[in-house]
Amino acid sequence: MANLTKAINKNLFDSILPTFGNPRVHIPVWDEGQKMFLCEEYESANGHRYYKGVRFCDRIVVVEKVGLYHNWTYIDGIEVYAFNGTRLELVQKKDYEKEFRNESFIRKESETMVCNYIEGVLKAQKSSMTQAELEEKAKAIIDGCYKSFLDVDFNTRLTQILPQIEQK
């Protein structure tokens, strides 16, 4: 039985960490260190590397565009999507010029963007909320996006949105 388990796990490991020349199974990569899924990675002709980092909760999706050049890692853009049924709708977008990637900067920017989105919707509906309430709401939503996929109570159904992000 122990050998069978070992054999099954060897096949699993071979598919997710294959030897050079063999294809890796197409499963979204969860990066626990950055608390996000890594998608759409590619390398340009001059050796720069780009990928999208995706975080989400049951309310919004935050996509960060990351660029790696020489020794530096830049944040090229942040996009915030809201759900409309099972579809995603872009509600905020921000691009950056030569901004070094910094975790606390991204978190703060994400909170501000969610705050701006809610404020805009409220204004369009001729409704309002205090700034403190808005900020608290936005912070709670973004905090929810930093939940670990490895946690037992992570809502794995939400990973179904990843193919939609890859198509954008």
Partner 1 sequence: MDTSLVLVAAKALPALSGSSLIYSPEKNVYHTLGYTSAAGNTYYRAIRFSDRLAVYYDIGEGSVRTFLNGITLFAWNGQKANIIAQKFWGGCNWRDFNERSAKEESILMLKDYLAGQAKAMGSMVAESQLLDFSRSMIEATHQKRLA
Residue of 121, 53, 130 lying closest to 91 (CA atoms): 121
What is the smallest separation between the CB atom of 113 and partner 1, expressed in angstroms?
22
161 in helix, strand or coil?
A: helix
Task: Give the residue with the Cβ less far from partner 1, 60 or 101.
Answer: 101
Between 24 and 168, name the residue whose CB sits nearer to partner 1: 24
Q: Residue 14 CB, nearest distance to partner 1 (Å)?
A: 9
Considering the complex, state which of residue 9 and residue 131 has its C-beta at the smaller distance from partner 1: 9
The position carrying tokens 């060897």 is 10
Other CB atoms within 10 Å distance of the CB of residue 65: 17
Smallest separation, CB 38 to partner 1 (Å): 6
For the chain, give percent helix, strand, coil, nearest 5. 40, 35, 30
Smaller CB separation from partner 1, 30 or 146:
30
CB of 55 to partner 1, least distance (A): 14
The binding site for partner 1 (CB under 8 A) comprises 9, 12-13, 16-25, 27-34, 38, 41, 43, 46-49, 51, 68-71, 73, 101-103, 149-150, 156, 159
Q: In what order do the strands lie in the sheet with 72-84?
A: 29-31, 36-43, 49-56, 60-69, 72-84, 87-100
Min dist. Cβ of residue 74 to partner 1 (A):
12
Which class for 157: exposed (0-12), middle (13-18), buried (19 or more C-beta within 10 A)? exposed
Please, which residue, 32 or 97, has the CB nearer to partner 1?
A: 32
